Homo-oligomer: A and B are copies of this chain.
Amino acid sequence: MRRDVFQAIADPTRREIIHLLAAKPLNLNAVAENFDISRPAVSKHIRILTECGLVAIRQQGRERFCYAELQALKQVAEWTDQYRAFWNKKLDALGAFLGKEEQASRKKKK
């Protein structure tokens, strides 16, 4: 089981669940009502989300309220951030490369 944040947010249903829970905590059935899939399927998604820390659960009687704990998303934000230059300044990696390539093929001394 890999179970890291990147894998957790890869599924659109899970991202939608995060969206719902970020607005307000919901018990499992309430979350499930927002989807066409079965309740156990939603339950599995929530399990995955809790396993990587994005969602926490608070048992209250027979109900289990799920709430968002999105600190783990910081990881993702930091990862993408290191490439921010690529979409801010339309950085042309290829162009830079082509220049270097020519030099390289010129000295070709292994």
Most buried by B among A65, A67, A100: A67
Q: In the complex the two chains form, is B81's CB within 8 Å of A77's CB?
A: yes
- Are B67 and A77 in touch, CB under 8 angstroms? no
Q: In the assembly, how many copies of this chain are there?
A: 2
**Which residues of B are found within 8 Å of A71, using beta-carbon distances?**
86-87, 90
Does A74 have its Cβ within 8 Å of any Cβ on chain B?
yes
Q: A76 an interface residue at 8 Å Cβ cutoff?
A: yes
Given contacts A80-B73, A87-B71, A21 and B93 within 8 Å (CB-CB): yes
Residue of B2, B58, B83 touching A73 (CB-CB under 8 A):
B83
Which of B2, B18, B58, B73 interacts with A87 by CB under 8 Å? B73
